Amino acid sequence: MKATLDLPDHLMRQVKQRALQQGRPIKELVAEYIRQGLHPAPAAPLAVSRGVLELDADGLPLFRPDPQLSCQPLDLATALRLEQDALSQEDRQRAGLPA
């Protein structure tokens, strides 16, 4: 069935990029997205194996780690390096380069 949709430009650009990356026709990709939206996969239960998950007064999650586990604090330089590594990996994936 043919249909005309008025989609935001930025959304259509993302769909076209994804279709190129996956080597699939746009029609096939959009049909898959619609199917996923109509029949979403059941959400996986939240698995918390270490520590206890609580909600604060505003309903935001609080995670209190198990005191028996050793934890190392994350310094700013390490956090920035990890963030940069993640961003670089995302850029390589978008460009179709090996990770």
Q: What's the pLDDT at 44?
A: 67
Query: Is 32 a member of any domain?
Result: yes
Please determine, for residue 6, whether its predicted confidence score (pLDDT) is greater than 90. Answer: yes
Query: Is 33 a member of any domain?
Result: yes
Query: Is 67 a member of any domain?
Result: no
More confident residue, 54 or 47: 54
Closest Cα to residue 31, out of 43, 19, 17, 13?
Answer: 19
Query: Is 53 a member of any domain?
Result: no
Q: Which helix (H) or strand (E) holds 73?
A: none
Range of the domain at 33: 7-40
Query: Is 12 a member of any domain?
Result: yes
Domain count, the chain: 1
pLDDT mean over 35-49: 74
Please determine, for residue 12, whether its predicted confidence score (pLDDT) is greater than 90. Answer: yes
Query: Is 80 a member of any domain?
Result: no
Q: What share of the chain is helix, strand, coil (3-state, %, to 5)?
A: 45, 10, 45
pTM of the predicted model as reported, rounded to 2 decimal places = 0.42
Query: Is 18 a member of any domain?
Result: yes
Q: Which residues pair with 64 in a beta bridge?
A: 52
Q: What's the pLDDT at 75?
A: 86
Contact (CB, 8 A) for 26 and 16: yes
